Amino acid sequence: MILGISGTFSSGKDTLAAHLSELYAVPIVNTGDIVRSEALARFNSTERPILHEVATELRKQFGGAVLVERALEDVKNGNLIITGIRSMGEVKKVIERGGIIIFIDAPVGLRFERMKQRNRDQETTISLEEFIARENTERTSGTKDEDFNIDAIEKIAQIKLINLLDQAALFAEAEKQLKKRIQ
């Protein structure tokens, strides 16, 4: 089982991945961790604008699926959850490997508060307006496989979830939708 999880900023991608990982005993690779590692090595920074630049460079240099390909290098028994899917190249690679794409969203105000609570890097210092502007930069930067394209991913995802305030309800809905697709 390969699951690719995409979604808007701070929508709960990693939280859902952790739950599904425990439920199905499947490891997780976060594409953001791959990008953060590269950004630290290159720029000694993991701030969002740097991450965006590094991810864009990696995809342009090595192809739109590079982050998923790197995640899949260590897959054991064909089972993996990959979070942080942001390009159509990544989606295509997950689907090519027989995987399922899950898209998760939540209202922007709730996501902004979650971002503040996770207290990662300098994100806590930005305003709601900056949060929205940064997200818009990454939502859709083009239509090529290497471009950020959250909007297109949302349209083709096999499972779409809204993460409000009830985690148990989110998990139950995800499990219900996955049971329909996993035999």
Looking at residue 77, what is its pLDDT?
75
What would the pLDDT profile of 126-148 be if each residue is shown by its tens digit? 899 999 998 888 788 899 999 99
Domains of the chain by range and CATH? 2-177 (3.40.50.300)
DSSP string, 26-57: --EEEHHHHHHHHHHHHHS---HHHHHHHHHH
Looking at residue 165, what is its pLDDT?
75
What would the pLDDT profile of 25-82 be if each residue is shown by its tens digit? 999 999 999 999 999 999 998 888 899 899 999 999 999 999 999 999 877 678 999 9
Looking at residue 116, what is its pLDDT?
87
Going by C-alpha positions, the residue among 51, 96, 39, 90 that lies closest to residue 69 is 90
Mean per-residue pLDDT, 101-127: 87
* Residue 76, number of CB atoms within 10 A of its CB: 8
Q: Is the pLDDT of residue 183 over 70?
A: no
Looking at residue 134, what is its pLDDT?
85
More confident residue, 7 or 126: 7
User: From CA 176, how far away is CA 6, in angstroms rounded?
Assistant: 18
Looking at residue 161, what is its pLDDT?
97
Mean per-residue pLDDT, 155-182: 94
